[in-house]
Structure 1
Amino acid sequence: MIRSRRPVFRRAWLRPLLGDRSAAVAPMFAALGAVLIGAAGFALDGGLYYVGQRNLRAATDAAALAAAQNPAQAAARARDSLSRNGYDPAILRSVELGRYCADAGLGAAQRFDASMALCPGNGRVNAVRIRTGKPARQFLMRVLGPANPLPDLSASATAARIDEAGIGISSGVLTVTNALVNSVNDLLGALLGIELRLSAADVEALMASNVDAGLFFDALAQRVGESGTYGALTARTVGLRDLLAAAASAADDSATAATLSLLAGQVGNGHAVPLNGLFGLGVWKNMPVGGADEKPALRAGINAYQLFSYAVQAGNGAVDLSDAIGAVAPGSSVLLAAMATGPMDRPRFSFGPAGETSVSTSALRLQLDVGIRNVSLLGVPLIVVKLPVTIDIAAAQGQVSAIDCPDTAEQARDTRVTVQAGSGLVNAYIGALPAGAMTRPMPPLSAADVRSVRIVNVLGVVTVDSRAVAQPVMGASGALVFGPGGQGSIGRPGSPGTPASIGNGAQVGPLLTSLVGSLGGQDGLQVTLLGSCLPIVCDATRALARSQLSSAVVNPIAGLVGTTIDPLVTDLLAALGVQLGHATLWATGARCGVPVLV
Structure 2
Amino acid sequence: MKRLRNWRDRRGNISIVMAGGLTMLTAAGALGVDTASLFLERRRVQGIADAAAMAAASAPLTGEDEARAVLAFPANGGTSLVAVIPGRYTADPTIAADARFQTDWIAPDAARVTVEGGADTIFGRALGLGPRVAISATATAARIDTAAISIGTRFAALDGGVANAVLSGLAGSELSLSVMDYNALSSADVDLLTWLDALHGKADLDVGTFGELIAADIRLSDAISALADTTASLHAAQVLRALAGRVADRNVRLRDVIDLGPLAESSSADPKRPITVGALSLLREAILIGGEARALTLDLSPAIPGLTSTRYRLEIGERTNATPWLAVGRARQVTVRTAQARLLLDTRLLNAPLGLGTIRVPIVAELASAEGHLSQVDCSRGTGPAATIDVVPSLGRVAIADIDEGSFSQFTLPLVLRRATVAALPLVSATALADIRLEGTTAQAVRFNADDIAAGRTKSVHTNNIVGGVAASLVRSVDLRVSVLGLGLSAGVLTSTLGNTLSVAAPALDALLDTTLSLAGLQLGEADVKVDALRCGVPLLVG
TM-based fold match above 0.5: yes
- 2:255 — aligned with what? 275
Instruction: Give the aligned residue type for 1:309.
Output: R
Equivalent of 1:368, from 326, 333, 345?
A: 345
Alpha-carbon displacement from aligned partner over 1:254-289 (angstroms, at most 9, x marks no partner): 55445444433332550534533x2354544xx523
Question: What does residue 167 of structure 1 align with?
Answer: 149
For the Cα contact (< 8 Å) 1:282–1:356, is it kept in 2?
A: no
TM-score by length of 2: 0.74
Larger CA deviation: 474-483 vs 27-36? 474-483
Structure 2 counterpart of 1:429, from 386, 400, 419: 400
Instruction: Confirm or deny: 8 A CA contact 1:299 1:591 kept in the other structure.
Output: no
Q: Show CA shifts across 1:291-333 (max 9, x none).
A: 66398xx642111111111332344486554455345999996
- Give the whole-Å Cα distance in 2 for the aligned partners of 1:199 and 1:331: 22
Query: 1: CA distance between counterparts of 2:111 and 2:304?
Result: 66
Structure 2: segments with no counterpart, 5+ residues: none
Partner of 1:87: 78
Task: Rate the CA distance shift 1:134–1:567 in 2: closer, same or farther, 3 A.
Answer: closer
Q: Distance in 2 between matches of 1:233 and 1:565?
A: 42
| Cα offset, 1:160, TM superposition | 0.8
Match of 1:498 in 2: 457
Greater Cα shift, 247-256 or 261-270: 247-256
C-alpha separation in 1, matches of 2:238 and 2:72: 59
On the 8 A contact 1:97/1:129 being kept in 2, the answer is yes
Structure 2: distance between partners of 1:108 and 1:32 = 53
1:325 alignment partner AA: L
**Deviation of the 1:35 alpha carbon:** 4.2
What pairs up with 1:183-194 in 2 under 5 angstroms?
A: 183-194=162-173
8 A Cα contact 1:476 1:502, kept in partner? no
TM-score, structure 1 as length reference:
0.69
- Residue equivalent to 1:158: 140
1:64 CA drift (Å): 0.9
Question: Measured at CA, do residues 144 and 393 of structure 1 come closer, stay the same or move farther in structure 2, by a change above 3 Å?
Answer: same
Alignment correspondent of 2:364:
390
Kindly name which structure, 1 or 2, has the bigger radius of gyration based on alpha carbons: 1
Is 2:103 aligned against 1:126? Answer: no
Distance 2:45 2:58 in 1: 20
User: Which whole-Å deviations, capped at 9, do the CAs of 1:107-142 have from their partners, x for residues lacking one?
Assistant: 9984971358xxxx9995322234456555443355
> Partner letter of residue 434 of structure 2?
V
Q: Which amino acid aligns with 2:515?
A: D
Matches of 1:555 and 1:73 in 2, distance apart? 60
Partner Cα distance (1:96, 1:344) in 2:
39
Q: State whether residues 428 and 511 of structure 1, in contact with CA within 8 Å, keep that contact through their aligned partners in structure 2.
A: no
Cα contact 1:430–1:466 (8 A) shared by 2: no
- 1:336 maps to what in 2? 311
- SS class of match (1:489): helix
SS of corresponding position for 1:343: coil
Percent pairwise identity: 25
Maintained 8 Å contact 2:357/2:423:
no
Alignment RMSD = 5.1
CA distance change for structure 1 residues 38 and 299 in 2, over 3 Å: closer, same or farther?
A: farther
Offset at residue 196 of structure 1 (A): 0.8
Give, in angstroms, the shift of residue 585 of structure 1: 3.4
The reply on whether 1:40 has 2:29 as its aligned counterpart is yes
Structure 1, 158-167 or 346-355: larger mean CA deviation: 346-355
**Cα displacement (A) at 1:86:** 1.6
Taking the aligned partners of 1:331 and 1:101, their CA distance within structure 2 comes to 57
The answer as to whether partners of 2:49 and 2:138 remain within 8 angstroms in 1 is: yes
Q: What does 1:343-422 align with in structure 2 at a 5 Å threshold?
A: 343-345=318-320, 346-370=323-347, 388-393=362-367, 395-407=369-381, 414-422=384-392
Q: 1:406 to 1:41 in 2, by over 3 A?
A: same
Per-residue CA deviation, residues 154-204 of structure 1 (Å, 9 max, x unaligned), is: 5432211233333333463643x5x1x222221111112111133444333
SS at match of 2:534: strand
Asked if 1 retains the 8 angstrom alpha-carbon contact of 2:58 and 2:539, the reply is yes
Contact 1:457–1:463 at 8 Å: present in 2 too? yes
1:214 and 1:331, CA in 2 relative to 1: closer, same or farther beyond 3 A? closer
Q: Which residue of 2 aligns with 1:534?
A: none
SS at match of 1:165: strand
Residue type at the aligned position of 2:77: G
Distance 1:307 1:478 in 2: 26
Shift of 1:55: 1.0
SS at 1:87's partner residue? coil
Q: 1:288 maps to what in 2?
A: 265
Residue correspondence of structure 1 range 130-149 to structure 2 within 5 A? 130-132=113-115, 136-140=119-123, 143-145=126-128
Tell me whether 311-320 or 300-309 shows the greater mean CA deviation.
311-320
What is aligned with 1:101? 90
For 1:335-380, what per-residue CA distance to the aligned partner results, in whole angstroms no more than 9, with x for missing partners? 33420224324532233344444444444422133468999xxxxx
Q: CA deviation at 1:588?
A: 2.3
Counterpart position of 1:489: 452
Residue pair 2:191, 2:230 contacting (<8 A) in 1 also:
yes
Supply the AA of the counterpart residue of 2:147: A
What's 1:241 paired with? Answer: 221
| Distance (Å, rounded) in 2 between the aligned partners of 1:77 and 1:110 | 25
In the alignment, the residues of structure 2 paired with residue 315 and residue 549 of structure 1 have an alpha-carbon distance, to the nearest angstrom, of 51
Q: Any idea what SS the aligned residue of 2:190 has?
A: strand
When residues 392 and 27 of structure 1 are mapped into structure 2, their CA distance, relative to the original with a 3 A threshold, is: same
In structure 2, the CA distance between the partners of 1:332 and 1:402, relative to structure 1 (3 Å rule), is closer
Report whether the alignment pairs 1:518 with 2:482.
no
Aligned in 2, Cα 1:241/1:112: closer, same or farther, shift over 3 Å? farther
Q: How far apart, CA to CA, are the structure 1 residues paired with 2:79 and 2:105?
A: 36
For these two proteins, the number of residue pairs brought into alignment is: 523
Equivalent residue for 1:573, pick from 517, 526, 538 = 517
